[in-house]
Amino acid sequence: MLLDTIKEIEQLKMKNEDVGRKIILHINAEKRKVLSEVKNEFINFFREKDFKITEPNGLILASYGSYKISLTIPSADAVFLGAFSVVHINIDGTLKKNYTVPIVEINRSNGANIRTINIPKTEIEKLKQEKANLLSKFEELQNRLTNLNNFRLGFTYYDTDERKKNPHIVISSMPYSTFKEILPLLF
């Protein structure tokens, strides 16, 4: 019985890793698409306003005279805490501002899951508990994988300079579905 439980635990770990990899591949593909759209929407927005667009050193720079607005886009594979990705907008001219634009999942709660667990007393109980936890995690991952067709990324934003002064500033709570919805709010 003990060896069977250990084998089941190891098989569940492998299944969880496999499903997790599939989820990450899908999410990274979506991040690549969204980051490409961010770049295009930024360029189009400022071209329409007669700004000169250049791409020095991995930045996208929109300039008009001495006024410069830069967009920093990370690699799609970069990992962030609390967001799938984050882009930065820096304004340099008479007005100097910095904005952070987290890319988040639309229609998903970012709240914490709280569970109560019994602390097992014996090694067999520990194994049974581990198996139950892995099975529960597998069901969650499988559900997430099944529902990835509903996965959508959106944007929030905040004034980075103000956030440094007051870390309790509320980030725009409702995500915008496109980056171009945010640009007119900032400019």
Burial 56-66 (b: 16+ CB within 10 A, else e): eeeebbbbeee
- Cα separation, 109 vs 95, in Å, equals 36
pLDDT, position 119: 75
pLDDT tens-digit map of 108-156: 655 555 666 667 778 888 888 899 999 999 999 999 999 888 899 999 9
pLDDT tens-digit map of 46-91: 999 999 999 988 899 999 999 999 999 998 888 888 899 999 999 9
What confidence category does residue 174 fall into, taking pLDDT thresholds of 50, 70 and 90? confident
What total number of domains does the chain contain?
1
Of 18-22, 24-28, 45-49, 165-169, minimum mean pLDDT range: 165-169
- Cα separation, 127 vs 116, in Å, equals 17
pLDDT, position 112: 52
pLDDT, position 124: 81
pLDDT, position 103: 94
Greatest extent of the chain over all pairs of C-alpha atoms, in Å? 76
pLDDT, position 187: 87
Q: Which residues contact 84 (CB under 8 A, 6 or more apart)?
A: 27, 31, 103, 104, 105, 153
Range(s) of the domain holding residue 150? 2-186
What confidence category does residue 1 fall into, taking pLDDT thresholds of 50, 70 and 90? low
